[in-house]
Each structure stands twice: as C-alpha cells, then as structure tokens.
Structure 1
Amino acid sequence: MREFSLPALYEVPSDGNLTDLIRRNAAQHPHVAVMARKVAGVWTDVTATQFLAEVREAAKGLIAAGIQPGDRVALMSRTRYEWVQLDFAIWSAGAITVPVYETSSPEQVQWILGDSGAVAVIIEMDAHAVAVESVRHALPALRHIWQIDKGAVDTLRAEGAGVPDSLVEERSSSAKADDPATIVYTSGTTGRPKGCVLTHRSFFAECGNIVERLKPLFRTGECSVLLFLPAAHVFGRLVEVASVMAPIKIGCVPDIKNLTDELASFRPTLILGVPRVFEKVYNSARAKAQADGKGKIFDKAAHTAIAYSRALGTPQGPSVGLKFKHKVFDRLVFSKLRAVLGGRGEYAISGGAPLGERLGHFYRGIGFTVLEGYGLTESCAATAFNPWDRQKIGTVGQPLPGSVVRIADDGEVLLHGEHLFSGYWNNETATAEALADGWFHTGDIGTLDEDGYLAITGRKKEIIVTAGGKNVAPAVIEDRIRAHALVAECMVVGDGRPFVGALITLDDEFIGRWAEEHGKPVTSTALSLRDDPELLAEVQRAVDDGNAAVSKAESVRKFRVLPAQFTEEAGHITPSLKLKRNVVAKDFADEIEAIYRG
C-alpha cells in the first residue's frame, strides 16, 4: 500500500455557500468582466455587478414560484450563458441543482427527475419539452417547467419583480457548507445512473485548491476560459465554479462543431477539454497539411515538437541543433497551430480520458502545454492534476492539495478529502460500498511514483482475462489505437477468449479525406470501406502502434471494422464519451464472434 498527499493551499470556509462568490466578486471586482455572451454574434462582456443582478432577478422568480430551500430544480440545457446564470440562481433561491444531459432520453429524464424528487425543471428547447412532457405523468412532484428558448429568464424576472431583495439575501445565505449544492447523476456505464451528492464544501475544496495551485492560469482581469464541455458534466461544472472563484472571464458555447471559429473569436488564455478535442485539432491540422501538399513538413515538425518536449525533461535539455529546428518549425507550423487554439493561450487542462504521451509531448513541444488530470463525478471532477510548473507527461499529476491518494494492495486507487461527494442520493447501500472508512474506492487501477504522480493503468472491473490466464488492461492499447486519425473508437475484447481482439469504428470526418487521397469514391462510408484492403492495412498500422505499447500476450491479434459509430443514442457511450462495454458487447456480439471464428 502506498499513499501521497499535499498540504491544502485553500482554507475551506467553515460556513457559507457558493453564492458568496458572486457577491464577493461584485463587491471586490465590480467592473471586471466575469462572463461573456454572444449578442448578435458578437461576444459581449458581463461584469461582476451585472452578473450578480441577473442571477438575483432569476432567483426572485424561482422564489415567487414557490421554490423552497432544499428543493431540487433540474436544469436541462446545452452549455450557454443562461446555464451558469440559472445554476447560481437556483443556489441563490436556496435550492439544489440537478443537471440533466440535454441528450438524455425520456426514460433517463424520468429516472433523474423522479429519483431526485425535482419540483421544477428548466429546459432549453422544444426537443427537451417533448421528452419531459412524455414522462410528466410519472413525475407527481414536478410542478414547473420553464423553457429558455421561450423566454424562461424573462418570465422569471417578471414573476419575481415583487420579491424583496432582503428575501433573496436570506435565501442565498440559507445553505451551509455541508449542504448539497448539486446532485450529479453519473452517466452510468452499467445499470441506472446514481445521484452523486456534491456539497458546497466539495466545490470550495476542489476549486479553491485548483485555482491556488494553478494561479498563473487564473489571473483576474487577464485570463479567460471558453467553456464548451457539457455544463451538466462535473468537469464542465468545475470550469464554471473555478472561473467564478478566481474570478476569470467565462464564455460558453453549446457544442464543438465550430470550435476553431469560436476559439478564434473568443481567444481564451485557458482551454479545458477532453482528449478527443486535442486529437481532433492535431488530426485536422495534419489532414489540411497533407491536402495542401505539406504533409511531410507537418510530420517533420510534429517529430521535432515531440523530441523537443522529451528533451525538456532531461538534465541537459534540447541540443543546439534541436533548438534550431524547433525555432524554424515554430515559424512555419507551431505558431499557426497556436493561432487555431485562439492565439493567446499557453495552457490547457485535459480530463475525462487518458491523453497519451504522444499528444502530451506534441502540444508541449509547440508551446501549448496540456496539463492532464484525473477525477470522477464522486471527486467533484479533478482529484489529481499536473502542476503548471512541474508537469510529468504520462501521468495524471499529483493529488489535489488537501487530499490523499492511496494505492491499495490490489492496485485500486483510493481517495480521501473534503472534495469528495457525501454519498449517493437515496442509495445508502451503494454509498456504503463506495465509501469505506472515509476512503472512496474509485474502481481504477493505478500507481504512484516517488514524487506522488499518479498513473492510471486500467479499470478494476474492466480487466480482461484471456483463456490463457493473461490479465489485460484495455485502456492502454485502446488509447494508442484511437490516436490514429481514421479511428473514432476502439474497444478491446477477449475475456475468456484465446487471444485479444478489437472492435474499431471509423471517424466520419476523415473517411472522405482518406478515400479521396486513395482514389476511392468521396462518398465512401465505413460500411462501404470496412473490407477494403487498403483501409484495413491503414487500420492495421494503428493497431500495430497500439501493440507496441504492450506485451505480445496483450496485443490485438485480429480486429473488426464496424459499419457504424458507437453512439450515445444507441446506448454505446455515455455523454462523457465513456464506453458502455456491456452494451457494445451485446449489440455487436456477432462481430465479436467473427473475430474468433475459425
């Protein structure tokens, strides 16, 4: 057993709640822009004073509607300015926010609203209204539905006009540090989602220590962050609260379809994302370079960036020759890539899945350091992260200051600290199983080095045991295979089988480009190309790269290219892009059998 901890850098208030932050910001930084929203397509700043006023107006409307302290109010919307405004308005009314993914099915909506006992729900669009109305008969506690796209904020403002400021002040102060701030339902790779109760103390401990440890990334009046993660996800919530705590300016966008354009217009100094975002930026840049006949130059530049970053971690540092090559490629390639990322930032924080050493070194080598972290809903997002001044690529960093990471005898990662959830809503049995003697059992397998840097090597329950008795952690090889531009997803199989295999889906964005480059019809699809010898050879190269990271007994011997993507709608992945392995295995049982046939 091994454990590591760092002293706390932030003292959690003995009392109070998250609404104290927006009142403090208005008092101490009244004219500082803490938010930005799109008005007629143009980013418009919202000062701390304005934000507090708009939060209070919405809170008054909730109070006028009969929302009581401790009531649960659900929020189902894409990431947008109103999400943050209404989240703080719910807290200012003394209530508890229950986020719902905007892609949730009616069955999921019914479960979350019913299990939490939500008395009201704020939705964004007509599609959400249809989902809620279809199950409303099964939700006797639900009294109110407001829709953002149909004037929910204006309605709340009008209905709350008669509520005195003194009542809002009273309600804003009603929740204490150990009271629930939110119930975040885990996306659930198996079974029904469980509601993680995160208190105001959880967020104070989490965000306060992150802001202090990463202080150069959270400079008030200088720094900004573009929030494009789902606000319903705990990682998106971390971005929201940490930015308000600093405070730095937040801009919200609903999806990543036009992310490069949004980055160019907002120009954030800090980006928080998942590995797939950083993979897409890399793959898109490489594909564009190849289309322009500059593929070889890009590949040489990428090789130089990775070599330069690796050399930064050695006592002697980069050689004179490497420094010269790096300087040349900085002018030709790296500066353009940084411009794609907004042009102002030097750092990003990545979580939700492993980033991989190759991408970590590539981005640091181009002058845009991606700090990898690790966490779960139960740990209020990040429970470990790489410090800005002592990054160790290939790890998820050191423990959150004020918390402890322990590696149990069987390799499981255990957590302790004020940032942890207080339990699962209405589920004492699951709470007792997850929280034993104050330690949260993550279900992840990991190691700690001598400096306290954590590396995650797999999932305890996802370890594959082949017929030959070999234990295989699928995440290692899956991450390497998924790094190829053509690969969208990869799921390793082989439990009880004679060897390891893999199911692979193709990235829709790159199929057309690859097809055109190889003389195939530009209308080619995964279905039409899945048996194409050239495409299979290209996928084999991705598999070979993945196999290089593991032993022969753990390597993928055979794979199947699937005719379609794993989708959230089909239940194959969670909203945070985690594979639901049991669902995939069931739906693609025939494809798995084909791997082992004969």
Structure 2
Amino acid sequence: MLMSNYRPLASLAQHVATQPNAPFLHQPFNREWTSYTFSEVDEQSSKMAAALLQLGLEKGDRVAILGKNCAEWIMADLAIMKAGLISVPIYFSAGADTIDYVIEHSEAKAVFVGKLDNYDHVAGVFAGGIKTISFPYPMPACDLRWQDLIAVTPAIEQPYQPSDDDLLSIIYTSGSTGKPKGVMISFGNCQAIGVASAEISGDAYTNADRVVSYLPLAHIAERGLVELTALHSGMQIFFVESLDTFREDICHAEPTVFFAVPRIWLKIQLQVLDKIGPDRFAKLIKIPLVGKLLAKKVRKTLGLHKARVIISGSAPISPDVLKWYHQVGLPISEGWAMSETSCVGTINLPFRVEDIGSIGRPLPGADIKLSEDGEILIRGAFITPGYFKNPEATAETMDGEWLKTGDLGRFRASGALEIIGRVKEQFKTSKGKYVSPVGIESLLSAFPQIEQVCVMGSGLPQPIALVVLAEGIPCNAETLEAIAGEANLKLEAHERLDAVIVCSQPWLIENGLLTPTMKLKRDAIEKCHQPTVDGYQRSANKVDVIYEP
C-alpha cells in the first residue's frame, strides 16, 4: 500500500480507514487462536491510551513494557504513543538487576507486565511503588488488569499528534559490556525506517503477507523489521505461544517474511542434519530430482515453504550456513544495523548469491563510509538523537553527523560491505600482533560439529578457540584438530589457532554468557573458562584439543 507518511500512528489510521476489518494480529493461547483486526487494535489501544492518562501520566512520561511478544505488547506500544508517552521495552529474559536498572534509569511511571519465565526477577518492580498493568494471561497480580481497563475506559478523544522530534521509545541495549545504554528513538527516525523499508521492498508488502514475531520486541531488529514494518505495510503478525509450540506456530502462520538471528538459523540447520546426517544430506542434495524433493520437504517441515523474504541479523553468520540454506531454496538476506541506527543499515536484498558473506548494500537513505582505521561510519535521518541522560556517551559515539559504529568493515568491488570485526573485540597477542576474532569464528562455525565458538588470545602467543559442540553430531579430538587445521590454512600466521578448548556447558542467556539477543558476552565467556586457559600447556607443531571436566 503506497503511502508517504510511515509514522506508526498515521500508518495505523490509514489501515483503519481503508481496511478496518482486515486481520492484523494473531495471538495463540492454550492452543486456540484469537485474531484482531486493524479496527479492534485501534479501539483497544485508544482505550488503553485514555486509561494511562487517567492514571495521571503526562506527556513525555516513560512507560515500560516487560513481557514476551504478544498482541497486547503491540497494542500497549500504540497506546503509549497515542497518549504522548514514551515506551521503554525491557527484555523478557532480563535479570532482576537489569530490570531494576532500566526502570530506575528511565524513571518509568508505569509498567505493562506480560508472560515471563521467571516472575521472581520482577519482585523489585512489584514492590517499588510503580503502577503495574497485567496483560490478560495467568501471572502474579498487578495493580491493574488490561481487560478491566479496556472494559470500562472510553477511547481517547484526541490521540497525541507527535512531531518528528518527539521520542517514541527508549531502547536499552542488551548490555554485552557494562550497563545498558538507553538509545532514544524519535518519530522522525520511524519515518526513515518506513521509507527505507518501502523502497527496498518496492512497497510490495500487503495484508496478504505474514510475519512471525518471537524474538524480543525490546530489540530494535524485531521492533523495526516486524512491528513497525507491519504497521507501515499492513502485513499480519503471528505470535508464538511458547518454545514448545514454536515449530507448530510457524507452520500455522506460513510466513511470507521471516527473520531470525544466526544462533536460531544454526539450531534449525543442526536439527535437520541430526535427522539425516551431514554426509548423507550433502550427497542427496546434489542429486537433481532427489535434491529438489529433499529441499522442498525441508522447507515444508520448517513452515517456511511460502517465505519470500528471509533475513538474518543481529550477529555475524557463517557464509557456509547461508550457502546451506540457499541449497534448500531458502535464500537468506544477511543484514546489519544497530539500535543507534533505528534498524536501518545494509542488507543483501534483493538477494544476490555472489554477496553471501557480506552484509549487502546500504539501505535507501543510508550513507556509509570507512574511517582511516577501517571503522564503519554511517549517517542518515534514522540516526538516534542520542543516549538517554548520557550526553558524554552520545558525544563519544558521534563524529559530526556520522555515527561511529564500532564495526570494522571493507567494501567489495561489487559495492557490498563486509564486517571483519569489532574495534573493541580486537586483541593483541604476546607477539604484539592484533587479531580480530570474528573471521576465525566464521571459519569454525562453517562446520556443523561446532555450535558455538569464541576466539580469545589477549596476551597469549596465538589465539585459542573456545567451542561448544553440537548435540547429535559425532565429533572427537581428531575431528576438532582437523577442523582447526583446515581453518588455519586460511589464516595469517599470527591468526592461527594454537588450541581448541571444548567447553563443558553451553553458553546461554540464563547463565549470563549470551545477551538477550544471543550475542556472545565475550568478557563473561573468557572469565568463565580462564582457569582452563591458564592451565593449558602449549604443544609444538600441532593444534591441541582440551576437554573441560
């Protein structure tokens, strides 16, 4: 649907005017589906906006949203906008310290609470004197209930009409290092998101398109690629009830647009290979007729047989994983952006197989260049106004109108951009050589035996790879030595691995070794496994393989 105003409330009003009874949000609960039309979403969000103002909240006050993705999450976000307030989404996997910090730092006056795995983490919220509003699902009692407020509150008569300078949201980064910073997102930034999305897609998304929302809406990728893009285009959003129903819910939705982070793409691939076997799959997929039938079965089993736009982002993904998916008819467009760029950056869309291994080309409206040191600099109307209550960090991140991303990159001759590491993730070996771990990790991630990998080496003669092995795929020390040896053949002398340490436990959000968006917490991982590294005795002329007890 062609439009020039891609701001969320204007987009919703357009859909209500032109297709009020079209389905928009689909929510499963106890294995039954409830659908909400644009008109119903508009009505509920207008009632909740009025309810928020009746609580005494005033323009510019912050309201937190803490819970798993659901229809009410989107409606609460719209209600906050209509009331002239500012949303503060919090990761549903966040620990008590992070939740308390975000609530305190943002000075939130109220919080919507939804489904969580551990309500002990929100004990401080319930005891903190802040108004709590529960979504309509089983959970500990809050001050107010969504369904009660909707039942008795008339819709707001005059929703707030935001300017481009008004803040829509404060998105707290996932905190891979230190305390999370609050990235401010304005309504003007949202307009830039809409323009970029519409131009790259040719405004081809319609209400017939379907997307699944399951990654945290507290992250800018899910917020931009799913919620805001759906509001711009009118595509339908399907939610997932639980991890146990994930596959079933995707198959029910039959998404035409699907977004996942590399960790999930790798998990899905390993599940397929675990059933068929890596060697058998590699043989079958190359047989013309058999390969086509196998690829079709994989797509159907995954529920992605109707997907026409498939995206990976949030962290680097191995080119070999992308090539594997391309073999089964799922061309994944790798993209790159940041919270600070409002989810606008680069993407390999339309998909080009020759650009696999890159993050594609700049989206419309994005100017990108490299600094003298190779750092990616970006500018455009989507750049954040800054960090909330942190002008020092804002000044440190900006170079005039250019945002310093912290990512190291290089342009291919084709114009596609590659990420080759992070400025702060480079380490210096005892030989005085600088090493960027991302490229080495990408080489190791190409092997299905390795599910997770983190390369370290500060102060060591050569880098060391910490790995978590994939379940169900045979792998012994000899195999790992061969994998590391093959990777070393593609590396410079100072980058070559001395050892592979097989970690005894996986890295999870729950044990503090992954961020809520499944990025590595490198400092935490290195600290966790430092005793094994300290006890390692280097061998000559071979890659050592050490198993943690």
Question: TM-score normalised to the size of structure 1?
Answer: 0.83
Mapped pair 1:374 → 2:336: yes
Question: Aligned residue for 1:281?
Answer: 268
Question: Aligned residue for 2:283?
Answer: 300
Question: Aligned residue for 2:545?
Answer: none
Question: Aligned residue for 1:58?
Answer: 48
Change (3 A) 1:587 1:359: closer
Out of 245, 252, 275, the position equivalent to 1:265 is: 252
1:528-539 alignment to 2 at 5 Å? 535-539=476-480
Out of 512, 516, 521, the position equivalent to 1:580 is: 521
Question: Aligned residue for 1:222?
Answer: 208
Mapped pair 1:347 → 2:309: yes
Letter in 2 for 1:190: T
**8 Å Cα contact 1:206-1:400 kept in structure 2:** no
> Aligned with 2:272: secondary structure?
helix
Higher alpha-carbon deviation: 127-136 or 32-41: 127-136
Deviation at 1:178, TM superposition (A): 1.6
Question: Aligned residue for 1:330?
Answer: 292
Question: Aligned residue for 1:4?
Answer: none
Letter in 1 for 2:451: A
Mapped pair 1:364 → 2:326: yes
Mapped pair 1:593 → 2:529: no
1:438-461 deviation digits (Å, cap 9, x = unpaired): 111011100123443111000011
1:15-51 deviation digits (Å, cap 9, x = unpaired): xx42222111111222322221225524443221122
> Aligned with 1:381: secondary structure?
coil
Change (3 A) 1:205 1:254: farther
Out of 378, 388, 394, the position equivalent to 1:415 is: 378
Deviation at 1:58, TM superposition (A): 2.3
| Whole-Å separation in 2 of the counterparts to 1:198 and 1:487 | 37
Question: Aligned residue for 1:454?
Answer: 417
Question: What is the root-mean-square deviation of aligned Cα atoms in Å?
Answer: 2.6
Question: Aligned residue for 1:561?
Answer: 502
**8 Å Cα contact 1:491-1:503 kept in structure 2:** yes
Question: Aligned residue for 1:318?
Answer: none
Deviation at 1:94, TM superposition (A): 1.4
> Aligned with 1:110: secondary structure?
helix
**8 Å Cα contact 1:57-1:157 kept in structure 2:** no
Mapped pair 1:199 → 2:186: yes
| Whole-Å separation in 1 of the counterparts to 2:317 and 2:223 | 20
> Aligned with 2:159: secondary structure?
helix
| Whole-Å separation in 2 of the counterparts to 1:262 and 1:540 | 40
| Whole-Å separation in 2 of the counterparts to 1:10 and 1:594 | 62
Question: Aligned residue for 2:544?
Answer: none
Change (3 A) 1:596 1:461: farther
1:306-325 alignment to 2 at 5 Å? 325=287
Letter in 2 for 1:89: A
**8 Å Cα contact 2:113-2:132 kept in structure 1:** no
Mapped pair 1:171 → 2:194: no
What is the number of equivalent residue pairs in this alignment? Answer: 533
Letter in 1 for 2:389: N
Deviation at 1:147, TM superposition (A): 5.0
Question: Aligned residue for 2:22?
Answer: 32
Higher alpha-carbon deviation: 49-58 or 404-413: 49-58
**8 Å Cα contact 2:12-2:42 kept in structure 1:** yes
| Whole-Å separation in 2 of the counterparts to 1:158 and 1:90 | 17
| Whole-Å separation in 2 of the counterparts to 1:40 and 1:495 | 50
Mapped pair 1:74 → 2:60: no
Out of 237, 240, 246, the position equivalent to 1:253 is: 240
> Aligned with 1:556: secondary structure?
coil
Question: Aligned residue for 2:113?
Answer: 123
| Whole-Å separation in 2 of the counterparts to 1:222 and 1:152 | 37
Out of 479, 485, 489, the position equivalent to 2:442 is: 479
Higher alpha-carbon deviation: 411-420 or 575-584: 575-584
| Whole-Å separation in 2 of the counterparts to 1:288 and 1:226 | 25
> Aligned with 2:36: secondary structure?
strand
The unaligned stretches of length 5 or more in structure 1 are 1-8, 305-324, 519-533
| Whole-Å separation in 2 of the counterparts to 1:79 and 1:483 | 31
1:83-136 deviation digits (Å, cap 9, x = unpaired): 112111211221111011112111111110000000011112476653333366
| Whole-Å separation in 2 of the counterparts to 1:126 and 1:147 | 11
| Whole-Å separation in 1 of the counterparts to 2:482 and 2:413 | 35
| Whole-Å separation in 2 of the counterparts to 1:108 and 1:207 | 31
1:219-252 deviation digits (Å, cap 9, x = unpaired): 3132111112111111110111111111101111
Out of 336, 352, 367, the position equivalent to 1:404 is: 367
Change (3 A) 1:110 1:471: same
Mapped pair 1:493 → 2:434: no
**8 Å Cα contact 1:119-1:144 kept in structure 2:** no
The unaligned stretches of length 5 or more in structure 2 are 540-549
Higher helix content, 1 or 2:
1
Higher relative contact order (CA 8 A, sep 6+): 1
Deviation at 1:487, TM superposition (A): 2.5
Deviation at 1:146, TM superposition (A): 3.4
Question: Aligned residue for 1:387?
Answer: 349
Identity %: 27
Deviation at 1:432, TM superposition (A): 0.3
**8 Å Cα contact 1:64-1:159 kept in structure 2:** no
| Whole-Å separation in 2 of the counterparts to 1:235 and 1:459 | 19
> Aligned with 1:288: secondary structure?
helix
Letter in 2 for 1:95: L
1:509-548 deviation digits (Å, cap 9, x = unpaired): x1xx34xxx6xxxxxxxxxxxxxxx622233344345434
